[in-house]
């Protein structure tokens, strides 16, 4: 199996990459920082033994880098069995990405959506395949504020995070509905 895990340099992403590597999957670790990604890659190799790990570096706040990541993956691998969208941020203060988007929403939701969409054909060709979107119980506090989706009028770190996690859950449900039976 070939698996992508975003946010694989620490936390849930690193634990997921380790667990899947131990199961024999080829794990493509996506990390924002090369040094931290290489350190996680070394640790996983030390703990799991003879495993197949690849590291792709991309800042998922950048739609340009998400597109380049997908292109690089598609050039290297002829299959994708599991996509684990895990990378996320919680910004104490509002910031915007190079694309002019609020950072929390861009990383936590738009990157999931864009990467999944760009890899959907490869996932379909590799069926049965899976997309796992890591959310949080924070989605229960979330509300999509379409009149202020980017938090320009009112920003709060928890508010932005909860909104992004709600968007993850809604996206996951809609993706499952659209792919049902496919």
- What would you report as the CA-atom Rg of the chain, rounded to the nearest whole angstrom? 16
- Catalytic residue check, 161: yes
Contact 29, 54 (CB under 8 A): yes
Contact 28, 107 (CB under 8 A): no
In this structure, what token pair is assigned to residue 78? Answer: 């002829």
Based on the number of CB atoms within 10 Å of its own CB, is 104 exposed (0-12), middle (13-18) or buried (19 or more)? buried
Q: Give the active site residues.
A: 161
């Amino acid at each position: 199996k070939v698996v992508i895990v975003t946010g694989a340099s620490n936390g849930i992403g690193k634990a997921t990459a380790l667990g899947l590597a131990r199961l024999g999957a080829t794990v493509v670790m996506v990390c924002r920082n090369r040094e931290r990604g290489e350190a996680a890659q070394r640790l996983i190799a030390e703990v799991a033994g003879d495993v197949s790990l690849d590291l792709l570096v991309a800042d998922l706040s950048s739609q340009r880098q998400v597109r380049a990541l997908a292109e690089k993956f598609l050039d290297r691998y002829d299959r994708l069995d599991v996509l684990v969208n895990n990378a996320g941020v919680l910004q104490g203060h509002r910031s915007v990405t190079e694309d002019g988007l609020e950072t929390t929403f861009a990383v936590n939701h738009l990157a999931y959506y864009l990467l999944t969409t760009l890899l959907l054909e490869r996932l379909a060709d590799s069926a049965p395949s899976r997309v796992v979107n890591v959310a949080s119980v924070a989605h229960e506090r979330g509300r999509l504020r379409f009149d202020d989706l980017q938090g320009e009028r009112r920003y709060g770190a928890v508010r932005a995070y909860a909104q992004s996690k709600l968007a993850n859950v809604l996206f996951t449900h809609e993706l499952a509905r659209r792919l049902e039976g496919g």
